[in-house]
Amino acid sequence: MTALARRSFLAALVGLGALLRRRDAGATTIVPVTLEELTRRSELVVLGTVREVRSRWRGRFIVTDCDVSVDVSLQGALAAGERVGVRVAGGEVEGVGQVIPDAPMPQRGGSYVFFLQGAEEGMRLLAHMTAAVLPVTLGADGAMVVGTAPGLAGTTSGRLTDSPARSLPVGELARAVRAAGAR
Amino acid sequence: MIARVALALALVAAPMSASAWCRTTTSRTRGGVANECSMAGVPLSWRSRCTGYSLFRTGLPASLAWSELVTVGQASAAAWASATCDENGRERQYFEVRELAPTLNPSGWSTTGANSNTILFRSRWGDDSLHREGVIAITIVSYDSFTGEIFDGDIELNTYNDRTNQLGFEFSTTRLPGSDSVDLQTIIVHEMGHFHGLAHSTNDRAIMWPEAGRGEARRDLTFDDAAGICAAYPPAAAPVGVRCNPVPYGGLATLPGGTIVDGTGCSAAPGARSTGLAAGIFFALALVVKNSRRSGRRSSPVRGVNRD
């Protein structure tokens, strides 16, 4: 092999390496998490309805406490019908808003799947900054479907992010969560 | 002139969903789709010609020198300030972010006291509702919930510590960080996008793409990033007759609890990190000027109880 050919070969290797490296790059400000990983790091996973939300100052920050009634418990020691308090970052108080971009803000009356880990002043905290609250809505056929959230990398089957609707029937998500929790 | 106005109107009037870039708004509602750009609410922006940021004096990772952090901060601010809004590259977006004196004032917003737009390394993460796992950094933006005016922006970096934060990240200043480290400038440029009022972009080459970082550097604005910042701060819409005053509302807080020591200063080596006599003089000076109003100090736009 001539010197020129060797240099070309090395350059090609470096270029390929750089390409693979770029494609393999992990994360930026948001580190994606799979549904299985999110479930494993959660103490509680519940499908619930937000009955009340209340924002308040906590020092120099605004936090919002959500009163959630559990419709279905997917993981952990909560039963349907029980209440759980969930605290999220940000909110609005007396004309001042505070936001961490892409951090979830559940709405009163909305249904969500919450992935919860840890607590603060008796309120449960999210297991991931952006991916731990999945909205539950009615699909075109009237069945409940779970939407995705920023930073959620999908399920093992990839359906949550790969399907055109980017949503999953509630039953399918429940099975995936329970399977991940059992492992 | 007409062309400039037309360009500005076109940028402002362009529907957000037509481009990959997106602006954070006063609305926190979101549908069932990740990265959906909210069309509701008022887009957030600063309403002056400039503001300033302060580097937090302590907590730097051992691998990072203060001078490196200063350089990265300046380069990150310059990346956004130099964004051009026309095809000739002559018209720049009008908003500028300047470096102010270092601070010991942490993140958050005081409605009645002094403030700082702080950039800090946090070596505890996961201990409260603001710092949940799954992010390399966050930007906390405080704003007027009716007008969308940004009051304050703080950037916090999730920093590895072998005792207190093993899930944190190692920050590098090289353009080719290792696979287990993060390019600091990539992260700060991205977070400064949020600081300006931008949300995440769906363009996977953009600075504002939510996933990029470990093992790679992306420090330069793309056309998509420039389009976003130009929509927020179009050249033709620069406030007329308004001079740049980078001091935060309530004055620049350089000590914990919003105490003002220096209203306007520029970057200096963090001498207050040292202890002993220098620190004593520093705090004594703080007490002397604590209640004084300096020229350039801006009053808080919000009436209310001091939350400190």
Binary contact (B213, A29; C-beta < 8 A): yes
Return contacts of B204-210, CB within 8 angstroms, 24+ apart: B206/B20, B206/B21, B207/B79, B208/B21, B208/B22, B209/A28, B210/A28, B210/A29, B210/A30, B210/A102, B210/A150, B210/A151, B210/B35
Instruction: Quick: pLDDT tens for A104-139.
Output: 999 999 999 999 999 999 999 999 999 999 999 988
Name the minimum distance, in Å, from the CA of A140 to any CA of chain B: 13
Q: Which of A9, A96, A90 is nearest to A54 (CA)?
A: A90
Instruction: Quick: pLDDT tens for B42-55.
Output: 999 999 999 999 99
pLDDT tops 80 at residue A52 = yes
Binary contact (B200, A102; C-beta < 8 A): yes
Q: With beta carbons less than 8 A apart as the criterion, state whether B136 and B157 touch.
A: yes
Q: Buried b vs exposed e over B254-269: b needs ≥16 C-beta within 10 Å?
A: bbebbbbbbbbeebee
Instruction: Select the more confidently predicted residue: B25 or B6.
Output: B25
pLDDT tops 70 at residue A12 = no
User: So what's the pLDDT on residue B305?
Assistant: 38
Residue range B218-245: average pLDDT?
A: 92
Binary contact (A87, B137; C-beta < 8 A): no
Of B35, B128, B136, the CB nearest to A27: B136
User: So what's the pLDDT on residue B29?
Assistant: 62
**Chain A partners of B194 at a C-beta cutoff of 8 Å?**
101
Instruction: Select the more confidently predicted residue: A96 or A16.
Output: A96
> E strands of chain A, at which residues?
44-58, 61-75, 83-89, 91-93, 96-99, 111-120, 123-126, 133-138, 144-147, 167-169
Q: Which of B24, B26, B28 is the best mutation test for A, with the most CBs of A within 10 A?
A: B28
pLDDT tops 90 at residue B222 = yes
Instruction: Select the more confidently predicted residue: B80 or B16.
Output: B80
**Chain A partners of B24 at a C-beta cutoff of 8 Å?**
99, 101
Identify the weakest region by mean pLDDT among A19-28, B11-20, B177-186, B292-301.
A19-28
Instruction: Quick: pLDDT tens for A134-153.
Output: 999 988 888 888 988 888 88
**Distance of alpha carbon B66 from alpha carbon B185, whole angstroms:** 14
**Full-model pTM:** 0.82
Binary contact (A57, B210; C-beta < 8 A): no
Instruction: Quick: pLDDT tens for B52-65.
Output: 999 999 999 999 99
> Angle at Cα B145 formed by Cα B139 and Cα B150, nearest 5°?
45
pLDDT tops 70 at residue B190 = yes
Binary contact (A29, B307; C-beta < 8 A): no
Q: pLDDT band at B283, cuts 50/70/90?
A: very low
Percent of chain B's residues with pLDDT above 70: 75
Binary contact (A120, B128; C-beta < 8 A): yes
pLDDT tops 70 at residue B17 = no
B70, exposed or middle or buried, with CB in 10 Å at 0-12, 13-18, 19+?
middle
Average pLDDT across chain B, whole number:
81
**Chain B partners of A30 at a C-beta cutoff of 8 Å?**
134-136, 210-211
Return the structure tokens found at A27: 């994360």
ipTM of the complex as predicted = 0.81
Q: pLDDT band at A90, cuts 50/70/90?
A: very high
User: So what's the pLDDT on residue B32?
Assistant: 39
Percent of chain B's residues with pLDDT above 90: 56
Q: With beta carbons less than 8 A apart as the criterion, state whether A27 and B208 touch.
A: no
Average pLDDT across chain A, whole number:
82
Of B28, B44, B210, the CB nearest to A28: B210
pLDDT tops 50 at residue B263 = no
Binary contact (A31, B31; C-beta < 8 A): no
Binary contact (A26, B33; C-beta < 8 A): no
pLDDT tops 50 at residue B282 = no
Q: Which residue of A has its CA nearest to B180?
A: A26
**Distance of alpha carbon B155 from alpha carbon B171, whole angstroms:** 14
CA distances from A158 to A36, A37, A166, B31, B191 (A): 11, 14, 10, 20, 29
- Round the CA-based radius of gyration of chain B to a whole number and report it: 19
Instruction: Quick: pLDDT tens for B193-203.
Output: 999 999 988 88
Instruction: Quick: pLDDT tens for B163-178.
Output: 999 999 999 998 877 7
